[in-house]
């Protein structure tokens, strides 16, 4: 029986790996084509190629639930087409036993995926974004063009055009407000370098704002004291979806202490935490399809069905995310509802098939 379990797991595992490679490969091509429209300054084809390569793990992580579903349909579908599942059932092997054999390689892929998401993706994303921003915008670091990075600390707001992981900021602009939210001071610098306990700004333009006038000073350098460190900048540099689970949890608590809205970070936190459950729910649904309506259809139709179900699941999750903010229900339900729906339908169909 162990050999049979290993045979089923091996078929599903390699089918899923092939699906991941195909999907991520196609996405990489589209990403590279899109980046070619953004070439400027020091950001040329080789830099765009490196940017695309650094983001491949993130894309593989995002596509993993759909890839597991399609891999399950492809692997089990091939076995069904060769009558191998029929022989297994005739030999007295239950649907539950086959399902357990399918879920084992999926669990391995989920552990690998979560490990990459926790430790590799945030680092690679910071490197990719900082290298691109620095290559594109070193000559325009004081302009307001581009997205940049924003951060708030008390009544102070900060904007950076580019952030290097080693503790170097480009295009720094600091806005200081009083308790009545009246603008008091604006400081801008071409670059700031972290010096253990403070930041040293270079080529500084310091504007003091009074009720009836303003004063402008130009300095070659100036000290900037802030609680912001190169380590905490790792949160500012990446989108919530690219942060680690631990980073999301810590930053959510920080935002709540500051009295700021943390819904977007909570949504990303619960998405990452519940992604393994969502993947298992999709796989269970895929298994139920093989033993039910997709038992005798063509491989192409199975793959099409997997893509369709995966998209429906993804869009349901995407729609519930803003709905949780608008209607005020807990962000965790935006992830739990699609998972519960998939699992319920899949288990019901498996029960009928068994």
Look at the alpha carbons of 61, 129, 311, 22 in this order and tell me if their dihedral is positive or negative.
negative
pLDDT given at position 354: 65
Confidence band, pLDDT 50/70/90 cuts, at residue 237:
confident
Does the model's pTM come out above 0.75? yes
Dist. CA 121–CA 243, nearest whole Å: 8
pLDDT tens for 55-101 read: 999 999 999 999 999 999 999 999 988 989 989 988 889 999 999 99
Which residue is listed with tokens 């403070």? 198
| Burial of 337 from C-beta contacts in 10 A (0-12 / 13-18 / 19+) | middle
- With contact defined as beta carbons under 8 Å apart, do 238 and 129 qualify? yes
DSSP label at residue 247: H
For the chain, which residues make up each domain, given as ranges? Answer: 2-136+261-353, 140-238
Helices (H) and strands (E) in the chain, counts: 11, 6
* Per-residue tokens: 289: 């399809």
CA-based nearest residue to 109, from 21, 28, 175? 21
Q: What is the pLDDT of the chain when averaged over all its residues?
A: 89
CA-based nearest residue to 4, from 100, 71, 136, 137? 100
Which residue is listed with tokens 């979560």? 114
* Per-residue tokens: 334: 């935006």
* Mean of pLDDT values over 235-256: 85
Query: What is each CA distance from 18 to 12, 75, 312, 322, in whole angstroms?
Result: 10, 11, 22, 33
DSSP secondary structure string for all residues of 176-234:
EE-TT--EEEEEEEEEEEE-SSSEEEEEEEEEEE-SS-EEEEEEEEEEE--S--TTTHH
Helices marked H in 116-189? 121-137
Dump strand ranges (E) for the chain: 149-153, 156-164, 168-177, 183-194, 199-209, 214-224
| Higher-scoring residue by pLDDT: 132, 294 | 132
Domain covering 140-238 assigned CATH 2.60.450 in the classification: yes
pLDDT given at position 287: 92
């Amino acid at each position: 029986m162990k050999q049979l379990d290993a045979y089923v797991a091996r078929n599903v595992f390699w089918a899923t790996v092939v699906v991941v490679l195909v999907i991520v490969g196609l996405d990489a091509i589209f990403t590279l084509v899109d980046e070619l429209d953004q070439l400027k300054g020091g950001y040329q084809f080789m830099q765009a190629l490196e940017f695309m390569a650094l983001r491949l793990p993130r894309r593989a992580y995002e596509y993993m639930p759909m890839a597991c579903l399609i891999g399950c349909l492809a692997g089990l579908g091939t076995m069904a087409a060769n009558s191998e599942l029929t022989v297994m059932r005739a030999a007295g092997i239950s649907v539950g036993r086959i399902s357990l054999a399918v879920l084992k390689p999926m669990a391995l892929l989920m552990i690998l995926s979560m490990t990459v998401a926790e430790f590799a993706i945030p680092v690679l994303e910071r490197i990719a974004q900082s290298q691109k921003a620095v290559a594109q915008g070193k000559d325009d670091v004081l302009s307001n063009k581009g997205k940049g990075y924003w951060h708030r600390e008390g009544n102070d707001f900060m904007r950076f055009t580019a952030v290097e992981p080693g503790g170097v900021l480009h295009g720094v602009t600091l806005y200081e407000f009083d308790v009545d939210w009246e603008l008091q001071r604006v400081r801008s610098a071409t670059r700031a370098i972290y010096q253990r306990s403070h930041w040293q700004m270079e080529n500084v333009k310091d504007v003091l704002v009074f009720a009836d006038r303003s004063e402008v000073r130009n300095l070659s350098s100036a000290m900037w004291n802030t609680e912001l460190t190169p380590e905490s900048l790792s949160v500012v540099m990446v989108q919530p979806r690219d942060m680690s689970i631990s980073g999301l949890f810590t930053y959510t608590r920080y935002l709540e202490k500051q009295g700021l809205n943390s819904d977007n970070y909570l949504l990303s936190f619960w998405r990452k935490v519940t992604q393994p459950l969502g993947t298992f729910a999709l796989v269970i649904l895929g298994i139920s399809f093989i033993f039910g309506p997709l038992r005798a259809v063509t491989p192409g139709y199975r793959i099409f069905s997997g893509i369709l179900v995966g998209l429906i699941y993804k869009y349901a999750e995407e729609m519930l995310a803003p709905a949780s903010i608008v209607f005020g229900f807990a962000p965790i339900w935006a992830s739990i509802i699609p998972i519960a729906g998939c699992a319920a339908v899949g288990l019901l169909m498996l029960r009928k098939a068994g």
